Amino acid sequence: MGIFATIVVGLVAGWLASMVMKAKTSLWIDLVLGVIGGFLGGWLTGLLLGTNLMSGVNITSIIVAFIGAVIVVGIYRLISRR
């Protein structure tokens, strides 16, 4: 259930991050970046806090995935400019 929940939350977070960052990408790119951001957010919270906050489909997981997705969208922008 953990990976499935991370993917679902990542999809929502990717869409939210693209709206906040005003990314001019397709929906598919937003969703992929969100899933990557979800995994990144879970990894970062595990590294910094000692516990993975991506624990299912809940508001904490969405916030963690959103922060990860914003980071990934920012990196994507830097790479795609060149």
Q: Compute the distance between CA of residue 39 and CA of residue 64 in angstroms, rounded to an integer.
A: 9
**33, part of any domain:** yes
| pTM recorded for the entire structure | 0.86
Residue 16 falls inside a structural domain: yes
Does residue 70 lie in a domain region? yes
Domain count, the chain: 1
End-to-end, the C-alpha distance of the chain in Å comes to 38
- pLDDT score at 36: 92
Would you say residue 82 lies in a domain? no
The pLDDT of residue 1 is above 60 = no
If you write DSSP's letter for every residue of the chain in order, what string do you get?
-HHHHHHHHHHHHHHHHHHHHT----HHHHHHHHHHHHHHHHHHHHHHHSS----SSSHHHHHHHHHHHHHHHHHHHHHHH-
Rg, C-alpha atoms of the chain: 12
Q: pLDDT tens digits for 19-46?
A: 898 877 888 888 888 899 888 988 999 9
Position 54 in a domain = yes
Query: Which position has the higher pLDDT, 59 or 54?
Result: 59
Full residue range of the structural domain in which residue 22 is found: 2-77
